[in-house]
C-alpha cells in the first residue's frame, strides 16, 4: 500500500470534502423546508394539498436519486432550466431527501399521543396553538433520530453529484485515479473522509437527542 501517495493526496481530498459538506448542508436546508411543506400538505384537511404532498413523496422516493439528478441537469435545458452542476446537485439532492424527511416529520407528528391533542383542545387551544405548544415540542424530539438517519443518507448520497461533474470528494477521487492507477489507496482515503463526516453527524444527532430529551 502506497502510504506516501495517500499522504500527498490528503490535502486535496480535505478541500474536496469541504465541498461535499457545503452541498450536504445546502441540500439539508432545502430538504427540511420541502419536507415541512410536504408533511403539512399530507396532513392537511384539503384533498388537493394531500394529493400534492403524496405525489411529491412517491415521485422522489419511487425513483433513483441518480435519475432525478440526470433529469434535472441533462433534461433541464430542454425545458428551459439551465443549472450549474453545483446548483443542480443541491436542488436534486435537496428535493430527494425532502421526500424522505417528510415521512420522518409526519411519522413523529402522528406518534405524539392523541390524548395530548385532545387535552389541549379541551382547554380551548386552537388547532395551531395545539400544534405549536403541545404537539411540535414533543414531535421534535421524536424526529431527531429519523432526520439524523436521513442526513447521513444525504451525506453519503451526495457522491452521486460527481456524475454531473460537481467537483466534490468522489469526483476528486476519480480524477486522481487517472494519474496514479492506485484506486485502493485513492478511494480508501475518500472512504475514510466520508466516515469521519458521518461520525460527526452521528455525534451531533446524539447531542441534539440529549438536549431535547423529555425528563
Residues binding another protein (CB under 8 A): 113, 115-116, 118-127, 129, 133-134, 137-138, 141, 214-215
From the CB of 114, what's the least distance to another protein, in Å? 9
From the CB of 123, what's the least distance to another protein, in Å? 4
From the CB of 105, what's the least distance to another protein, in Å? 17
- Cα 35 from Cα 26, distance rounded (Å): 14
Q: CB nearer to another protein: give 142 or 169.
A: 142
- Cα 101 from Cα 151, distance rounded (Å): 9
From the CB of 174, what's the least distance to another protein, in Å? 48
From the CB of 26, what's the least distance to another protein, in Å? 31
Q: CB nearer to another protein: give 141 or 175.
A: 141
- Cα 184 from Cα 187, distance rounded (Å): 6
User: How would you label 142-154 residue by residue, b for 16+ Cβ within 10 Å and e otherwise?
Assistant: bbbebbbbbbbbb
User: How would you label 21-49 residue by residue, b for 16+ Cβ within 10 Å and e otherwise?
Assistant: bebbebbbebbbebbebbbbbbeeeeeeb
From the CB of 127, what's the least distance to another protein, in Å? 7
Q: CB nearer to another protein: give 50 or 175.
A: 50
Q: CB nearer to another protein: give 4 or 122.
A: 122
Q: CB nearer to another protein: give 2 or 113.
A: 113
Q: CB nearer to another protein: give 58 or 126.
A: 126
Amino acid at each position: 500500500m502506497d502510504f506516501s501517495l495517500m499522504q500527498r493526496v490528503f490535502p486535496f481530498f480535505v478541500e474536496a470534502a469541504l465541498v461535499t459538506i457545503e452541498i450536504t448542508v445546502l441540500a439539508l436546508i432545502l430538504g427540511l423546508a420541502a419536507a415541512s411543506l410536504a408533511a403539512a400538505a399530507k396532513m392537511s384537511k384539503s384533498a388537493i394539498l394531500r394529493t400534492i404532498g403524496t405525489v411529491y413523496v412517491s415521485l422522489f422516493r419511487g425513483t433513483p436519486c441518480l435519475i432525478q439528478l440526470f433529469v434535472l441537469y441533462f433534461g433541464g435545458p430542454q425545458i428551459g432550466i439551465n443549472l450549474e452542476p453545483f446548483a443542480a446537485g443541491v436542488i436534486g439532492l435537496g428535493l430527494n431527501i425532502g421526500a424522505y424527511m417528510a415521512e420522518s416529520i409526519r411519522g413523529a407528528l402522528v406518534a405524539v399521543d392523541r390524548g395530548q391533542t385532545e387535552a389541549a383542545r379541551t382547554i380551548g387551544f386552537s388547532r395551531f396553538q395545539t400544534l405549536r405548544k403541545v404537539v411540535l415540542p414533543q414531535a421534535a424530539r421524536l424526529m431527531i433520530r429519523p432526520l439524523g438517519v436521513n442526513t447521513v443518507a444525504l451525506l453519503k448520497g451526495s457522491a452521486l453529484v460527481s456524475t454531473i461533474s460537481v467537483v466534490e470528494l468522489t469526483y476528486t477521487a476519480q480524477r486522481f485515479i487517472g494519474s496514479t492507477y492506485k484506486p485502493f489507496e485513492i478511494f480508501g482515503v475518500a472512504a475514510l473522509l466520508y466516515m469521519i463526516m458521518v461520525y460527526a453527524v452521528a455525534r451531533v444527532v446524539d447531542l441534539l437527542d440529549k438536549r431535547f430529551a423529555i425528563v
